[in-house]
Amino acid sequence: MHFNRREFVSLAAAGTLAPLAAANAQAVYPAKPITLVVPFTPGGSVDNSGRLMADRLSRELGVPVLVDNKGGAGGAMGSVYVAKAKPDGYTLIVTSQSTHVVNPAVNPNLPYDAVKDFAPITLIDRLANVLLVNADLPVRTFAELVSYAQANPGKLNYASAGTGSVSHLSMELMKNQAKLPMTHIPYRGSGVALSDLLAGQVQLTWNNLSSNLANIRNGKLRALAVAAPQRVSQLPDVPTFAELKLPDLNLTSWTGLAAPANTPAPIIERLYRATRKVLQDPATRATWVDKGMMVPEDVSPQAYQAEIVERIKFYQRIAKANNIVLE
């Protein structure tokens, strides 16, 4: 193949300008609306966190950040969608322990790789987890729960959001470490599980505080312990699992932000800095506390990636010890 001089100069210019154009696109990022995928249906804690952050990021970045709910398959459908999206910073995902920790820990056939297919940005929040019992259960402390369970083997049923969920794995760990004879009742999501807990069909569950604060305050549910670095301000009389000598259970849940793998580092850095600026705003911090959420510490993209990897290993150990595998 031969080129004349004009064609050669044109091709050379195009080759020179292409990387310059790409670099310029990164420099002016963002220049158009951003889609923030929530891999669950509207109304849950992940959706709530994503919408709160989208609203504030829109103002900070100067472009609309549009929430797109793509629920299904325990968060897998939305996760795959983002994993395959163009890595240009205009399609992001609200990550959660379900999609990026527990699913990969228990499902060997997951259609995405939670570590390799994404570029973590940072955390949106941390969520205290709470051990909840129906208010009619005659126990008011964790010690009383242990005594009651051991005196009444077979009478306690605990609800989870489904086999292999965070609530399932956490309750199995608690069951083993505290020697609690109780039976697992899996549900299709935490909403249905909580409905049956409120109705007294099951006696206890594990869930995040932000979704249950109202029912704790109105006396319909009782909190016996929280998984958090220290006691939470909303429940100052409820001990942490660390105080109960069960430190392995003292893990918070979280939601965060990630982009498709291979998103340019300057874009990841821009989103990380913008999110951290939002989280440092006093109005944001007050809203998070009001919603039962914790403002996270400064978690860099690299630190977030490391936490995801470590937590996958943690839940893999629990799943293996209890023969929990999703096919």
Q: What is the CATH number of the domain that holds 53?
A: 3.40.190.150
Looking from the CA of 46 toward its CB, the CA atoms found within 13 Å total 28
List the domain range (segments joined by +) for residue 149. 129-249
Q: Number of structural domains, the chain?
A: 2
Global pTM value: 0.85
Measured distance between the N- and C-terminal CA atoms of the chain, rounded to whole angstroms: 53
Q: Which of 222, 249, 276 is the last residue of a domain?
A: 249
Q: How far apart are the C-alpha atoms of 87 and 34, rounded to whole Å?
A: 12
Q: How far apart are the C-alpha atoms of 51 and 46, rounded to whole Å?
A: 9
Q: Which of 213, 229, 249 is the last residue of a domain?
A: 249
Give phi and psi for 183, each to the nearest 5. Answer: -110, 140
Q: What single letter denotes the amino acid at residue 222?
A: R
Q: What single letter denotes the amino acid at residue 220?
A: K
One domain, residues 135 and 123? no
- Predicted confidence pLDDT, tens digits, the chain (327 residues): 454 555 544 545 555 554 544 455 556 899 999 999 999 989 888 999 999 999 999 999 999 999 999 998 889 999 999 999 999 999 999 999 999 999 999 998 999 999 999 999 999 999 999 999 999 999 999 999 999 999 999 899 999 988 998 999 999 999 999 999 999 999 988 888 999 999 999 999 999 888 898 999 999 999 999 999 999 988 999 999 999 999 999 989 999 999 999 999 999 999 999 999 999 999 999 999 888 889 999 999 999 999 999 999 999 999 999 999 876
